[in-house]
Amino acid sequence: MTDNDDISGQLPASSNNDENQFVGIPPSTSIADVVQLIRIHYQEMCSFREKIDTHNQEMCIFRERVEAQLANSRYRNNRSRRRHNLTSSLSSNESDHDILRANSRSHPVPVPVPRTPTPRILTPVPRTLTPIV
């Protein structure tokens, strides 16, 4: 046993040594009262920890919802962008085959091969021969 040990059930008397001081608890407080204060503090900390755990679970659920909405939004934006690219490409001078080939890279379903264009029938233009004089 050391000089600071007290078996009387009281905290050690005030001294210049800060190791024996409890913040906010007067030195005359009994050990049983200090133990009771520690138990109350521990219960408050456990309750606070439960609140933190509940909050963390709620934040995880919220994050999952936000990530799902973001993924859904990206999917819709990509579909809209592909649709826009297809319609804007159709109005340009690109061939249908080039458009379908470009869209097939990002399109999840196979794209049918386009039909070959119907050849235009050219009618011969009658030429008149002029004699060279």
- Residues 51 and 45: their CA atoms lie apart, in Å, by 10
Count CB atoms within 10 A of the CB of residue 17.
9
How many residues make up the chain in this entry?
133
Phi and psi of 95, rounded to 5°?
-80, 160
Per-residue pLDDT tens for 5-28? 445 555 555 554 555 555 677 778
Q: Is the pTM of the predicted complex or chain greater than 0.75?
A: no
Report which residue type is found at 56: N
**Per-residue confidence (pLDDT) for residue 27, from 0 to 100:** 77
pLDDT at 30 over 60: yes
Query: 28 versus 99: which is more confidently predicted?
Result: 28
- Parse the chain into domains and list their residue ranges: 28-104
**Per-residue confidence (pLDDT) for residue 116, from 0 to 100:** 66
Per-residue pLDDT tens for 41-84? 999 999 999 999 999 999 999 999 999 888 888 877 777 776 66
- Residues 133 and 119: their CA atoms lie apart, in Å, by 41
- Report residue 122 as tokens: 């050219």
